[in-house]
């Protein structure tokens, strides 16, 4: 079965209530969950139960203040960052303010330990505070693997949250499931199994996001090569969460997508194989294997859908 077929199968299961990952992967993910819990117990909780409080206004300038919401798990909350300004939400808000020449208000509802099933509740709390955020950044997926959440259930919850946010008029960018295979306390051969489970979830997330009218950015093993070269620089003391430098690296690939969704990112700032329009399942599978890839809905010969479903655009942007 091809990667695109596996992605399409997982997304279809989310929509119609069927199965999820293969039996082998499901068992493997269960073992990874146990391994991750043991590793967490060994490492401890050096950062407590929440990232730095980052809500507030960033940047300066005239005009209406833009509102950026953040929902998701500990990576969205910035656990491991030392200051509020080092959290991914604050980094993206600061970048948006520079792009727009306007102030950006950050409203963070992400919760450490959350998985995709918690997203609808977080969205409820976000929309209770801000009825119509301009953009919402979602970072979620790792705890779905370690909590053994069935991928169809995780993707359905993500889709529900997406629908609420899009109905409220928000542009939505989702950083998909990261690669647990780069986490040092997870030993081989479980790293390889964790990587496969995470990639399959990330691909299914991408399909759900694009179908709902949002954009996805694959985080995957974004920190992998650099982590292997300098593990103490990009991962924090708990060896699970990114360090400030790691969050900056992730925010560098998320900011362009959020900026583009708000028509703020310069269209000419792209690199390499900038644009490809392919069926969404193919795009999702490719993105899951190429961290930093952005996927959004597209039209092909004037149509949104083709014989294999929704058309999607794969894009690699500059990280400057």
Catalytic positions? 74, 238, 241
CB–CB of 109/53 below 8 Å?
no
Scan for tokens 């955020």, then name that residue: 133
For residue 176, what is the DSSP state? -
d(Cα 247, Cα 242) in Å, to the nearest integer? Answer: 6
- Which residues, 6 or more positions from 232, have their beta carbon under 8 angstroms from its beta carbon? 243
Q: Is 272 helix (H, G, I), strand (E, B) or coil?
A: strand
- Phi, psi (rounded to 5 degrees) for 126: -65, -50
d(Cα 241, Cα 246) in Å, to the nearest integer? Answer: 8
The CA–CA distances, whole Å, from 108 to 8, 60, 79 equal 31, 20, 13
């Amino acid at each position: 079965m091809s990667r695109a077929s596996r992605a399409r199968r997982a997304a279809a299961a989310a929509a119609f209530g069927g199965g999820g990952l293969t039996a082998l992967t499901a068992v493997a993910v269960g073992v990874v969950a146990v391994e991750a819990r043991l590793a967490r117990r060994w490492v401890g909780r050096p950062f407590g139960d929440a990232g730095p409080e980052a809500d507030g206004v960033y940047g300066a300038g005239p005009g209406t203040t833009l509102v950026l919401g953040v929902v998701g798990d500990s990576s969205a909350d910035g656990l491991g960052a030392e200051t509020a300004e080092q959290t991914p939400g604050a980094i993206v808000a600061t970048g948006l303010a520079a792009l727009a020449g306007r102030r950006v208000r950050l409203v963070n509802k992400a919760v450490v330990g959350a998985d995709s099933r918690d997203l609808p509740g977080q969205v409820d709390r976000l929309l209770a505070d801000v009825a119509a955020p301009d953009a919402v950044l979602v970072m979620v997926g790792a705890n779905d693997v370690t909590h053994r959440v069935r991928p169809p259930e995780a993707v359905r919850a993500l889709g529900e949250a997406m629908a609420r946010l899009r109905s409220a008029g928000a542009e939505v960018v989702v950083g998909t499931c990261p690669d647990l295979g780069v986490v040092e306390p997870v030993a081989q051969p479980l790293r390889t199994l964790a990587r496969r489970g995470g990639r399959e979830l990330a691909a299914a997330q991408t399909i759900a996001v694009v179908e709902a009218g949002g954009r996805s950015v694959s985080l995957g093993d974004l920190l992998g090569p650099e982590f292997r070269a300098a593990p103490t620089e990009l991962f924090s003391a708990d060896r699970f969460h990114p360090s400030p430098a790691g969050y900056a690296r992730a925010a560098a690939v998320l900011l362009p997508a959020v900026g583009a969704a708000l028509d703020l990112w310069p269209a000419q700032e792209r690199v390499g194989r900038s644009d490809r329009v392919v069926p969404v399942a193919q795009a999702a599978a490719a993105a899951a294997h190429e961290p930093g890839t952005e996927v959004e809905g597209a039209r092909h010969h004037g149509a949104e859908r083709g014989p294999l479903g929704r058309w999607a655009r794969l894009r690699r942007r500059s990280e400057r």
